[in-house]
Amino acid sequence: MVDSTWWHLLFGNLSAGALPFYSPIATGAAALVVAGAIGVVLLLNWFGGWKWLWTEWLTSVDHKKIGIVFVAIALVMFSRAVIEAIMMRLQQAMGFDSPGYLPPDHFSQLFTTHGTIMVFFMAMPFLTGLINYVMPLQIGTRDLSFPVMNSVSLALTAAGAALMMVSLDLGKFSTGGWSGYPPYTELSYNPGVGPDYWIWAVTLSSISSTMTGINFAVTIYKKRCPGMHFLRMPLFTWTALATSIMMIFAMPPLTVATLLLACDRYLGMHFFTNSGAGNMMNFVNLFWLFGHPEVYILILPPFGVYSELFSTFSAKRLYGYLSLVYATAAIAFISFMVWVHHYFTMGQSADINAVFGIATVAVGVPTGVKIYDWMLTMYRGRVRFSVPMLWSLAFAITFVIGGLTGVLLATPPVDYVVHNTLFLVAHFHNMIIPGTLFGMLAGYHFWFPKATGFRLHEGWGRFIVFCFVIGFYLAFFPLYAMGLEGMPRRTQEYYDPAYYPWAIVAMVGAGFIFLGLLGLLTQLVVSILNRDKLACHIGDPWNGRSLEWSVSAPPPEYNFAVLPRVEGRDSFTAAKAVDIAYRRPTRYEAIEMPKNSAVGPLIAFASFSCAFGLVWHIWWMASGGFVMAWLVVIARSFVRDTRKVISATEVERIEKRWLREVALTRPVSRDDEFTCANKGLAETTE
Residues 625-644 close enough to bind other proteins by CB under 8 A = 630, 634, 637-638, 640
Q: Residue 533 and residue 49: Cα distance in Å, rounded? A: 26
266 is a contact residue toward other proteins (CB under 8 A): no
CB of 283 to other proteins, least distance (A): 10
- Among 159, 233, 286, 369, the residue binding other proteins under the rule CB under 8 A is 286
Residue number, 210 or 430, with CB nearest to other proteins: 210
587 is a contact residue toward other proteins (CB under 8 A): no
245 is a contact residue toward other proteins (CB under 8 A): yes
277 is a contact residue toward other proteins (CB under 8 A): yes
- Among 113, 141, 215, 523, the residue binding other proteins under the rule CB under 8 A is 215
Alpha helices in 313-410 (DSSP H): 321-334, 350-362, 364-378, 387-409
Size of the site for other proteins (CB under 8 A): 51
CA dihedral (532, 533, 539, 543) in degrees, to 10, reads: 180
CB of 212 to other proteins, least distance (A): 12
Q: What is the DSSP string of 466-505?
A: HHHHHHHHHHHHHHHHHHHTTPBSS-S-B--GGGHHHHHH
Residue number, 36 or 268, with CB nearest to other proteins: 268
- Among 72, 315, 346, 407, the residue binding other proteins under the rule CB under 8 A is 346
582 is a contact residue toward other proteins (CB under 8 A): no
- Among 92, 237, 285, 377, the residue binding other proteins under the rule CB under 8 A is 285
Residue number, 25 or 352, with CB nearest to other proteins: 352
H or E, element range at 292:
helix 280-312
524 is a contact residue toward other proteins (CB under 8 A): no
Lay out the site mask for other proteins across 111-150 (x = CB under 8 A, - = otherwise): ----------------------------------xx----
- Applying CB under 8 A, the span of 103-111, 192-200, 250-258, 562-570 interacting with other proteins comes to 250-258
485 close to 494: Cβ distance less than 8 angstroms? no
CB of 282 to other proteins, least distance (A): 6
187 is a contact residue toward other proteins (CB under 8 A): no
Q: Residue 249 and residue 225: Cα distance in Å, rounded? A: 27
Residue 60 bridge partners (DSSP): none
223 is a contact residue toward other proteins (CB under 8 A): yes
Q: Pick the closest to residue 301 from 153, 143, 440, 122 (CA basis).
A: 440
347 is a contact residue toward other proteins (CB under 8 A): yes
- Applying CB under 8 A, the span of 159-167, 277-285, 303-311, 649-657 interacting with other proteins comes to 277-285
CB of 219 to other proteins, least distance (A): 9
- Among 81, 340, 393, 437, the residue binding other proteins under the rule CB under 8 A is 340
CA geometry: angle 209, 84, 406, nearest 5 deg? 65
- Applying CB under 8 A, the span of 18-26, 29-37, 242-250, 516-524 interacting with other proteins comes to 242-250
483 is a contact residue toward other proteins (CB under 8 A): no
Residue number, 92 or 258, with CB nearest to other proteins: 258
Q: How far is CA 22 from the centre of its chain?
A: 32
Whole-angstrom CA distances from 461 to 19, 122, 433, 441 are 40, 20, 17, 10
525 close to 500: Cβ distance less than 8 angstroms? no
Residue 260's CB: how many other CB atoms inside 10 A? 17
Residue 514's CB: how many other CB atoms inside 10 A? 17
CB of 328 to other proteins, least distance (A): 15
Cβ neighbours of residue 645 closer than 8 Å, sequence gap 6 or more: 590, 591, 592, 593
Residue number, 91 or 150, with CB nearest to other proteins: 150
270 is a contact residue toward other proteins (CB under 8 A): yes
Lay out the site mask for other proteins across 317-336 (x = CB under 8 A, - = otherwise): -------------------x
Lay out the site mask for other proteins across 395-424 (x = CB under 8 A, - = otherwise): ------------------------------
Residue number, 48 or 347, with CB nearest to other proteins: 347
Q: Pick the closest to residue 240 from 224, 256, 254 (CA basis).
A: 224
CB of 271 to other proteins, least distance (A): 5
Q: Residue 616 and residue 171: Cα distance in Å, rounded? A: 9
251 is a contact residue toward other proteins (CB under 8 A): yes
* Residue 645, SS3 per DSSP: strand
CA geometry: angle 39, 42, 44, nearest 5 deg? 110
477 is a contact residue toward other proteins (CB under 8 A): no
173 close to 112: Cβ distance less than 8 angstroms? yes
The C-alpha R_g of the chain, in whole angstroms, comes to: 25
CB of 310 to other proteins, least distance (A): 29
Cβ neighbours of residue 315 closer than 8 Å, sequence gap 6 or more: 381, 382, 384, 543, 670, 686
Q: Environment class of residue 470 by beta-carbon count within 10 Å: exposed (0-12), middle (13-18) or buried (19+)?
A: middle
> Prior bond to 183 cis, omega within 30?
yes
210 is a contact residue toward other proteins (CB under 8 A): yes
Interhelix angle 280-312/235-267, rounded to 10 degrees, is 160
Q: Residue 530 and residue 553: Cα distance in Å, rounded? A: 16
Residue number, 336 or 466, with CB nearest to other proteins: 336
Residue number, 165 or 251, with CB nearest to other proteins: 251
477 close to 426: Cβ distance less than 8 angstroms? yes
- Among 256, 418, 575, 581, the residue binding other proteins under the rule CB under 8 A is 256
Residue number, 145 or 175, with CB nearest to other proteins: 145
138 close to 547: Cβ distance less than 8 angstroms? yes
> Prior bond to 554 cis, omega within 30?
yes
275 is a contact residue toward other proteins (CB under 8 A): yes
Chain residues in the site for other proteins (CB under 8 A): 145-146, 210, 213-215, 217-218, 221-223, 245, 248-249, 251-253, 255-256, 260, 263-264, 267-271, 275-279, 281-282, 285-286, 289, 336-337, 339-340, 346-349, 352, 630, 634, 637-638, 640
